[in-house]
Structures are given as structure tokens and as C-alpha cells.
Amino acid sequence: MSVLDIKIYKTAEPKVKPTVEEEASLGFGTTFSDHMFVMEYDSDKGWHDARIVPFGPIPFLPSAAVFHYGAEVFEGLKAYRTADGKVQLFRPEENAQRLYNSAERLCIPAVDPADFLEALNALMEVEKDWVPKSFGTSLYLRPFLFATDPALGLHTIHHAMFVIIASPSGSYYKEGINPVKIMIETQDVRAVRGGTGYAKCGGNYAAANRAGYKAEQKGYTQVLWLDGVHQKYIEEVGAMNVMFKIAGKIVTPDLIGTVLPGITRKSCIELLKEMGYEVEERRISVDEIVEALENGTLEEMWGTGTAAVVSPVGHLAYKDKEYCINNNEIGPVTQKLYDELTGIQWGKKEDTRNWIKTVK
């Protein structure tokens, strides 16, 4: 018997899975697999009723706390299919720990990382045929955890739910691996020290909506956030961490509590160091970036994220100026990093770091 004692209730009406031809136009996060994992928390019982059920609506009272006060945290990771048909996860224990840390910040009953992994593996065993086959596609897994207390008072959370859904997905950006256009946001801020910047909580993304909307109206893919105090230092992009190559050196903002500690970021730093690049994690002022853009030493810029993978940035706008980076082409380091990371994830390259967990 598993620790969670997961019950499995399979659908009587399985959906038709995308064909290999249809996989090319999957996009991101709009198609869902047949099943989802669900379990509930009550303070007098702990986590209970772990189950895999058909994907479908989850009913709540309109008074449920998550609707009013945004007590929600989530994760994002992918299951990849290798050429020989195996299904594998990339560093899932990192997601399990980050969800735990996020829940701790929002004071939502946390899911033990071992239970997270057990739930994920159980769902993957049921849904592995949903992992698409083409290179560049994957089964995007979205674990999320939220408060369900049915009362409007602001109190300690006593009831919660943990769910994992799965979505066969292709590229996150419509640009694919082609460079994206990013705008530096100069009005709204995403996070301040002591806030929830490092947690993966829905509220951070809600607070980002207005700037994202403005950027989209102007033809940009996402915004690049500046720090919340001085609006001077580079933080991260809406759905990815950022890295720059300036005069041969790689620089990326350090983690001081305001930026999401990306698992792709962490992995890329390790890969870059192994490739022999010097990587600096530090405060980077927007003035330093503008100067490097103007004097031609900003050689490459890219974002890193589970959904975004390694994504080159071809245009960067700040105030009333737009700069083109590396002729709006993917740069050599960005390409090398993309090839190395995706090579490991899709099983084309050997996993020498124990990053890959094969699904049974």
C-alpha cells in the first residue's frame, strides 16, 4: 500500500489523443489529459482521500477562501518522451520542494515533497500515453494547492486541496525557438523583499497582468520586471528568469527573495559553468544593460523556464527606445544551452547529473 493510498477511478469515456500531425499545433496549456490527481486537507485529519479521477470541474462553495484572498500556490514541470518511447521527468524533486516552500510562505497546509512525488508518479503511470511523441512537445504537469475554507473571515487556513492536471503541449511562445520581444516595465512592480516574489503563487501573476496587457498591446511578448524598491535592478520576465552575455561573461540576477528560483535557471547555470563560461549571479542595473546595448557588448540575452525552455530575446524596449539584440537571431550560447538542456530532457543526451526520473 502506498503512503497516500491513492484510489484510481478511470474515465469510461477516454478522449481521442492528438495525432503526431496534430502535435505540431498543440500550443500551450489548452488541451487536457483524461485524468487528474486530487486530495484534500482538513486540519483534524491531515491530507486524505488521495485519488485519480476523470479530468473535470471541481465544485466549491462561493465562500471558499481561494476565491477571495488568493491563497494558491502552484508548480509547472514536464514529462518528456524519448526516442525509444520512455517517459521521463526533469528534476521533479525540485518542484516538490519549491511547492513546499511556496506553501510555507502563504501559510497554506504544505504537501510533503515525498507525497507530491508519489502523487505525480501515480498520475503519470495512468496518463503516460498522453505524453506526445514529437521533439519539442511534452506533457506539461500543473500541480496546484489552494485554501478551501468556506468563510470570509481572515483566519488560519484549515482546509485545502491539492490537484495535478496534465496538458499535452508544444511551444509556450508562438515564436517557438525564435527570439521574443520584451519590454522593461517602468511603472508596476512584481515583488519586494519580504513579499511573495520567490513563491510560485497565483497572486504574483495576477499582479503582473496589467503590465503584461500593456506590453501585449504594444506588440511585446512579456515584460521584464525591475526591482520593487528602486526600479533600477533587473529581476525576471513574466514566465522566465533571464540571463545576459556581456563581453563574454554570463550574468543573471541573484536570488534575494524577489525572483522565482527557477529550476531551469539553476540547471542552466550548472551547464554553462561546465561548458567553461564564467557565470555571475548578482545585482544588474538597467543602466548597465542599456550601456552594454549601446556600446555593443551585450552579445546575447535569453530567458529560462519550464514552459519557455531556453528562449532568445531579440528585442528589448526601455522607456522610449527599442534595442535589437544579436540581429534578432538566436546567439551561439543560447543555442548551445538550448541543445544541451533539451537534449537531456528528451533523452538525446546522456543524463550524467541524475536530473532525469524515468516513469514506470
Name the minimum Å distance from CB 154 to ligand PLP. 26
The CB density around residue 278, as the number of other CB atoms within 10 Å, is 10
Name the minimum Å distance from CB 263 to ligand PLP. 4
Compose the 129-148 pattern: x for residues touching ligand COI by CB under 6 A, - for all others.
Answer: --------------------
148 vs 196 by CB, closer to ligand PLP:
196
311 vs 326 by CB, closer to ligand COI:
311
Q: Within the chain, how many helices (H) and strands (E) appear? A: 8, 18
Name the minimum Å distance from CB 75 to ligand COI. 7
Q: Which does 265 bind (CB under 5 to 8 A by kind): ligand PLP, ligand COI, none?
A: ligand PLP
Name the minimum Å distance from CB 305 to ligand PLP. 3
221 vs 306 by CB, closer to ligand COI:
306
35 vs 265 by CB, closer to ligand PLP:
265
146 forms bridges with which residues in the sheet?
Answer: 72, 161
3-state secondary structure of 358: strand
Name the minimum Å distance from CB 262 to ligand PLP. 3
Chain centroid to CA 48: how far?
27
The DSSP symbol for 326 reads G
Residue nearest to ligand COI (CB): 76
Name the minimum Å distance from CB 227 to ligand PLP. 14
Size of the site for ligand COI (CB under 6 A): 5
Sign of CA dihedral 11, 12, 13, 18: positive
Q: Confirm or reject binding of residue 305 to ligand COI (CB under 6 A).
A: yes
181 vs 200 by CB, closer to ligand PLP:
200
Name the minimum Å distance from CB 93 to ligand PLP. 13
306 vs 345 by CB, closer to ligand COI:
306
User: Is residue 75 within 8 Å of residue 99, measured between CB atoms?
Assistant: yes
258 vs 306 by CB, closer to ligand COI:
306
User: Is residue 212 within 8 Å of residue 224, measured between CB atoms?
Assistant: no
User: Is residue 316 within 8 Å of residue 301, measured between CB atoms?
Assistant: yes
263 vs 298 by CB, closer to ligand COI:
263
User: Taking the chain, what is the end-to-end CA distance rounded to the nearest angstrom?
Assistant: 17
Q: Hey, what's the cell of 284?
A: 544588474
Binders in 213-242 for ligand COI, by CB under 6 A: 239
- Part of the chain binding ligand COI (CB under 6 A), chosen from 58-66, 160-168, 210-218, 299-307: 299-307
DSSP 176-245: TTSPEEEEE-SS-----TTSSTTS-BHHHHHHHHHHHHHHHHTT-SEEEEEPTTTS-BEEEETTBEEEEE
Q: How far apart are CA 213 and CA 183, in angstroms?
A: 11
- Part of the chain binding ligand COI (CB under 6 A), chosen from 5-13, 154-162, 163-171, 304-312: 304-312
3-state secondary structure of 302: strand
What is the maximum alpha-carbon separation in the chain? 63
87 forms bridges with which residues in the sheet?
Answer: 81
DSSP H/E element including 336? helix 332-345
Q: Which does 91 bind (CB under 5 to 8 A by kind): ligand PLP, ligand COI, none?
A: none
Q: Which does 263 bind (CB under 5 to 8 A by kind): ligand COI, ligand PLP, none?
A: ligand PLP
Name the minimum Å distance from CB 235 to ligand COI. 15
